[in-house]
Amino acid sequence: MDKLSPKYDAAVQLIKQAIMGSQLRALRAVNQEQLALYFGIGKYVSENSRKGTWGTGAIEAISDQLQRELPGLKGFSTANIKKMRTFYEQWQILEIKSVAKASDIEVTENEVIRVSDAMLSVNRSPAAADLEWKNFFSIGFSHHMEIINKTTTLEERIYYINQTAVNHWDKYYLRDMLKKDVFHHQSQMANNFLRAIPEKQRALQAISMFKDEYILDYINVEELDVTNWEDIDEKVVENGIVRNIANFIMTFGRAFSYIGHQVHRDKLGHDHWVDLLFYNRELMSLVVVELKKGAFKPSYFGQLQTYLRILDDDERLPGENPSVGLILCREADKAYVEYVLQDYSKPMGVATYKIELQKKLMEVLPSEEKMKSLITSEE
């Protein structure tokens, strides 16, 4: 089969994006209806079982009768009905009452609950403002219960809901992320993504893509012909990364594809050289990485923003998102970086790198003279 021309490939990407968006909206609608049902049932069960209205074994009896009256019914075991109660009780801080509709679950004679309104209370916790509602509705009930059972604060819950939705985590990957406690180890990288990327979903996705510090412990300093640790500059690190590009991509994050290093672009007769250029399939963006020898300097942003503009003007294909830039330097004061970033419109961030393993290894190994004397004495 002949390779598609760039024009047709761009059309394929646009159509694919539309299809995936439609599928996501359909899934979100199904999840929303299910969550509405479970939230309403959870409220009803909570208000009757917690206050002593029902006796011991009521939930078991209700579950058994439901199975008899609706043969083949799934998801309404005793354990699952108790999970619905927990789901409601954990999220009742977002509740608001609304006008009754025939399809709603009746809680009392004149009082009903609909999840579309239940999650919009003006009295909700301030922390809940960070919750994206479409993210809440786009993940399934089992995901919600994993999050509820493994977190202790609202902030944690919101973080995992947003990350699960944005990055399409399945239940098992989510469980692994909860076990690793990634909320408390998430990137603190200084960036302007939420302000510079118009779509909040993509901004959150971009934030999750990068770390605040990268350990480049696979770079062999001796192979790079460095005699003094202080001589390690950006070109040395760049060469080490290029020699170990597979390791760097695994360190860097998911969905990155390497395009090249010292990528040359001419603009209006002026030469520009991008240190490292990647493409991220999830962000659908080119990603520029600029390596710097020492501490962060404000001037780095001007250079990086120029590269991003050139790539957006000359390289970005139809359907792709604007390019994202990263300064990778030895030291950075996060508060100062974020202060300087206020005047820049292109999405950029600053992270640091270390080559600790090689340095420590070099420090603990005997000197070359000592090694020779040891070998000689053994002979």
Q: Is residue 164 part of a domain?
A: no
Cα-flanking dihedrals φ and ψ of residue 317, to 5°?
A: -90, 160
Report d(CA 66, CA 72) in Å as an integer: 10
Residues 111 and 216 in one domain: no
Q: Is residue 192 part of a domain?
A: no
Domain end residue (candidates: 74, 90, 116): 116
Q: How much is the pLDDT for 118?
A: 42
CATH of the domain at 339: 3.40.1350.10
Residues 226 and 355 in one domain: yes
Q: Is residue 215 part of a domain?
A: yes
pLDDT tens, position by position, 42-82: 888 898 898 878 888 888 998 888 888 888 888 889 999 99
pTM for the full model?
0.56
Task: Measure Cα distances from 136 to 18, 73, 114, 308, 377 in Å.
Answer: 21, 25, 15, 33, 69
Beta bridge partners of 288: 277, 325
* Residue 144 clears pLDDT 80, i.e. is over it: yes
Residues 220 and 111 in one domain: no
Report d(CA 65, CA 88) in Å as an integer: 22
Beta bridge partners of 214: 353
Report d(CA 237, CA 347) in Å as an integer: 24
Residues 354 and 238 in one domain: yes
Q: Is residue 255 part of a domain?
A: yes
Count up the domains in the chain and report the number: 2
Q: Is residue 187 part of a domain?
A: no
* Residue 108 clears pLDDT 50, i.e. is over it: no
Contacts for 121 with CB less than 8 Å, ≥ 6 apart: 93, 94, 95, 96
Residues 235 and 96 in one domain: no
pLDDT-derived band at 188, boundaries 50, 70, 90:
confident
Q: Is residue 148 part of a domain?
A: no
Residues 232 and 359 in one domain: yes
Under DSSP, the state recorded for 199 is S
Domain end residue (candidates: 116, 135, 153): 116
Residues 234 and 357 in one domain: yes
Better pLDDT: 33 or 85: 85
Report d(CA 292, CA 237) in Å as an integer: 9
Cα-flanking dihedrals φ and ψ of residue 216, to 5°?
A: -95, 60
Q: Is residue 146 part of a domain?
A: no
H or E element in which residue 183 lies: none
Report, as an integer, the average pLDDT of 232-243.
Answer: 65
Residues 350 and 237 in one domain: yes
Q: Is residue 242 part of a domain?
A: yes
Report d(CA 256, CA 260) in Å as an integer: 12
* Residue 102 clears pLDDT 90, i.e. is over it: no
Residues 216 and 359 in one domain: yes
Tell me the residue range of the domain where 277 lies.
211-363
Report d(CA 243, CA 276) in Å as an integer: 13
Could you identify the residue written with the tokens 């990407």? Answer: 13
Residues 238 and 101 in one domain: no
Report d(CA 300, CA 290) in Å as an integer: 9
Report d(CA 176, CA 192) in Å as an integer: 29
Residues 225 and 351 in one domain: yes
Report d(CA 294, CA 260) in Å as an integer: 23
Report d(CA 257, CA 278) in Å as an integer: 5
Domain end residue (candidates: 86, 116, 146): 116
pLDDT-derived band at 337, boundaries 50, 70, 90:
very high
Residues 95 and 227 in one domain: no
